[in-house]
Chain A
Amino acid sequence: MKRYFAGVDIGSTMTKVVIFSDRIEATIIGPTGPEHRKLANKVMEEALNLAQIRFENLSYIIATGYGRINVPFADRQITEITCHAKGLHSLLPTVKTIVDIGGQDSKGIKIKDGKVVSFVMNDKCAAGTGRFIEIMADSIGVPLEDMGIISLTAEKAAPISSTCTVFAEHEIINKLASGETIPNLIAGIHESVATRVSAMVKKLTIEQDVAVTGGGAKNIGLVKALEKKLGCSIIVPPEPLITGALGASVLAKEIFEKYEREGQMPVRSSCGLQEAKIFS
């Protein structure tokens, strides 16, 4: 009988689910959003439908991400740092340094044999996160998905002097009004984020290969800007958003099998597929 495992990654912006057996059976990406925060169960249902299995078929479930506590039906919580490392290693075993750019956090992770050896994380300021890019995209009226492509046509990145997201937003609107081109502006936005992220990631002695995960990796312009700042090429996995959830599902499998080897039964959550009632 085939065994199924699930990883649920509740990010600040996106909720991701991966169902895994010995390969990826289903992946779902949905917004986290205000109401969705407690609705990890709904996203999970979607994933189950896609994989055409039932909740009872899942042998072990791991939740990760900043809202990992809000998944009552998860059997265990593991931080996104460990999960990203695991997920990425399962896809690209040569990678030693991961840069993760999420909605609220940016991180640098060093891995060896799929295990974390050190990591860094940004402090509580929106500058240098995916949120910064979202806000800027919104205020210049360019869809987030197009930011990357458009910035590649820039002649020269327009420098943005404010670090604060709020100030930078005004600065950009003004620059736009005074005739700066949109591609140049977007390139400037990417550069601003890349500068902050690279300064942080450089605290880890960077070893190649370097990969980028999280939503930021979907932005080719940002990836290019990062490559310039870090002075090396960067690998982008095929679906960077799901790296954390994938890692969680792989870990679910590993942990389950370890229990099995030791002849023990894993402790499982007593909650069914229900809404979250406690929050963090």
Chain B
Amino acid sequence: MAFFLGIDVGSGWTKAAICEDNELKSYAIVPSGGDYKKAAKEATNLALKKLNLSVKDIKCTVATGYGATMADFANDVISDISCHAKGISVLFSNVRTVIDIGAQFTRAITIDNDGRIINFIMNEKCAGGSGKFLQVTARILHVNIEELGRLSLESKKPVEFTTACAVFAESEAISRISEGARPEDIVAGIHKAMASKIMTLVTRVGMNPDYAVTGGGGKDIGLVKAIDNELRSKAYIPYEPQITAALGAAIFASSK
């Protein structure tokens, strides 16, 4: 019996996943904060605790994500794009396009039937349209980020946003509220704006009717629906989209 650990040190959240025989046994998600090292340890310990295991029971660890190199206890580092691809392929073997919506970066990845990257594209110099939008929106509407999706589905008339800047979107949303715009319409507007940006990435990388949405953004059903509308199809959503890369990393660890 052997356990394998995947640890995804994201710019917003750090995720740990533990696998046994390619099967997910436990996971944990903690905010990355400033100290990636600490977050990586914390997430690992949390995930271990759920199984009553200790570090010694882990046979191999692969780290991934923005701060992967900070998880210095890992045996190897693999890019999060590969890990997303791998993670999705064990969950949905037919998926060929992965849309990952993280805190700063959004990317579209096409994968082959072994879960390896064929191609990928991500936003570059500007965080306009990234997951940051969701955090900002949740904050100014005084709702939990988990509620955004449900709220958005109630919207009848999404607000059109004129700014693409993640920072000024906040002030714009605030102005809209004080003009009397309904919170659900604001959220739906943000979702629509994000989905159209994402659509561009997906078209460029190659659209496939079997696609999945991963990363923290995948938890937002409103956003997923907006993407579905743009792509005129229905996304596969993992049970816990945010840990997809961590899961992929754990699978990689199993094959080391």
A→B interface (CB under 8 Å): 12, 34-35, 37-38, 104, 124-126, 131-132, 135, 163-167, 170, 173-174, 176-177, 279
Q: Which residues of A contact B168 (CB under 8 A)?
A: 104, 124, 126, 131
| Nearest neighbor of A123 in chain B, beta-carbon distance | B165
Contact (Cβ within 8 A) A166 B127: yes
Given known A-B contacts A163-B125, A167-B127, A104 and B175 have beta carbons under 8 A apart = no
Report yes or no: A166 in contact with B132, Cβ–Cβ below 8 A.
yes
**Which residues of chain B are within 8 angstroms of A173 by Cβ–Cβ distance?**
33-34
Residues of chain B within 8 A of A163, CB atoms compared? 125
Bound-complex Cα distance A177 to B179 (A): 41
Chain A residues near B126 (CB-CB < 8 A): 125, 164
Q: Which residues of chain B have C-beta atoms less than 8 A from A34's C-beta? A: 140, 174-175, 177-178
Interface of A is mostly: helix
Contact partners of B171 in chain A: CB under 8 A: 12, 104
Q: In chain B between 162 and 184, which residues have their CB closer than 8 angstroms to a CB of chain A?
A: 163, 165-168, 171, 174-175, 177-179
A166-B127, A167-B127 known, 8 other contacts, Cβ within 8 Å = A12-B171, A34-B140, A37-B178, A131-B167, A163-B125, A167-B104, A167-B125, A279-B175
A172 to B83, CA, bound (A): 26
- Alpha-carbon distance between A38 and B178 when the two chains are bound, in angstroms: 8
User: In the complex the two chains form, is A166's CB within 8 Å of B175's CB?
Assistant: no
B175 contacts A126, C-beta separation under 8 Å: no
Roughly how many angstroms separate A173 CA and B166 CA in the complex, as a whole number?
18
Question: Is there an interface contact between A165 and B175, defined as CB atoms closer than 8 Å?
Answer: no
Can you name the residue of chain B whose Cβ is closest to the Cβ of A39? B178
Please, which residues of chain A bring their CB within 8 A of the CB of B167? 126, 131-132, 135, 165-166
Query: How many angstroms from the CA of A177 to the CA of B11 in the assembled complex?
Result: 13
